Amino acid sequence: MLQIETRQMSQRAVDFIVRQDQKKFLREPQLKNELRRKLAEWFISRHGTAAALLLTLTLDAYPDDLSRLGLTLKDVQFGALLHDIGKLLVPEPLVWYKPRTELTSVDWIEMDRHTVPYGAYALRLVEQQVGPLPEAAYKMVVGHHEKRDGTGKPYGLVGDQIALSAQFLTVADQVLGRCEARAYRDDHFTLADAVADVEKGRATKYEPLFFDHLASVLQGNLHMQVHELEGLGPYEGT
């Protein structure tokens, strides 16, 4: 399902960013470095993997969607795995662990910056180490919080101004994000409720055809927990 080479390459990228963080923040308390390592485990190893798997399941079931992208499945998987890599570079990692009632306006601004500048900068750092990355990775990292109606971030892009790869990822990210427990949210949804909630924005915020396809793929698995998605298909070699 997820190509092993892609998974390994994304993990090397994350490890590199974490090492860079540790050099940059060498004088920080040990707790802060530990928080960064935990962020890497959660947002990349778990959330990123779930997003990549959900995209892969949908693109396998509806190959015309992959044709619409004009990308390889490997490029899509890589972008999905790393879409939250910018969270590792937010200067104060504790913001991801604060309850909503303790978050300041500055905290929210910093959290929003995980796409630009932190996400884009993280990919540039990785490129210096491993060479050119797929262009789709940049588009997915920067654009996965944009919405088709212009209400998204960071640029408020509208409709087809948003890369299609980012629009596909947004659908998966929105469904998964509603299911996952986060310190800064008061509750989280079942998979069925998450799909129903995202459907409210189908005609305005999200790529409607891909949403329909993703929802169709999940239809027989809405009873599952998000962490069980990985069981829908094993990793494959390249």
pLDDT, position 130: 81
pLDDT, position 199: 98
Is the Cβ–Cβ distance between 208 and 160 less than 8 Å?
no
Could you tell me the CATH number of the domain that includes residue 214? Answer: 1.10.3210.10
Alpha helices in the chain (DSSP H): 4-24, 30-39, 49-61, 63-69, 73-81, 105-112, 118-130, 135-143, 164-179, 191-199, 208-218
**Could you give the CA distance from residue 165 to residue 233 in angstroms, rounded to a whole number?**
22
pLDDT, position 238: 29
Is the Cβ–Cβ distance between 86 and 118 less than 8 Å?
yes
Residue 221 lies in a domain: yes
Residue 206 lies in a domain: yes
The per-residue pLDDT string of the chain (238 residues; one tens digit each, 9 = 90 and over) reads: 555 566 566 666 766 666 665 555 444 556 666 777 777 777 767 889 899 999 999 999 999 999 999 999 999 999 999 999 999 888 888 788 888 889 999 999 999 999 999 999 999 998 988 889 999 999 999 999 999 999 999 999 999 999 999 999 999 999 998 988 776 666 678 889 999 999 999 999 999 999 999 999 998 776 666 655 554 543 343 2
Residue type, 143: G
Residue 14 lies in a domain: yes
Residue 238 lies in a domain: no
pLDDT, position 69: 96
pLDDT, position 99: 86
Residue 190 lies in a domain: yes
- Look at the chain and report how many structural domains it folds into: 1
pLDDT, position 26: 43
pLDDT, position 229: 59
pLDDT, position 93: 81
Residue 49 lies in a domain: yes
Estimate the crossing angle of helix 73-81 against helix 135-143, to 10 degrees. 40
- Domain with 114, as residue range(s), is 4-232
**Could you give the CA distance from residue 111 to residue 221 in angstroms, rounded to a whole number?**
31
Q: Three-state SS for 3?
A: strand
Residue 106 lies in a domain: yes
pLDDT, position 237: 35
Residue 237 lies in a domain: no
Is the Cβ–Cβ distance between 153 and 145 less than 8 Å?
yes
**Could you give the CA distance from residue 123 to residue 79 in angstroms, rounded to a whole number?**
10
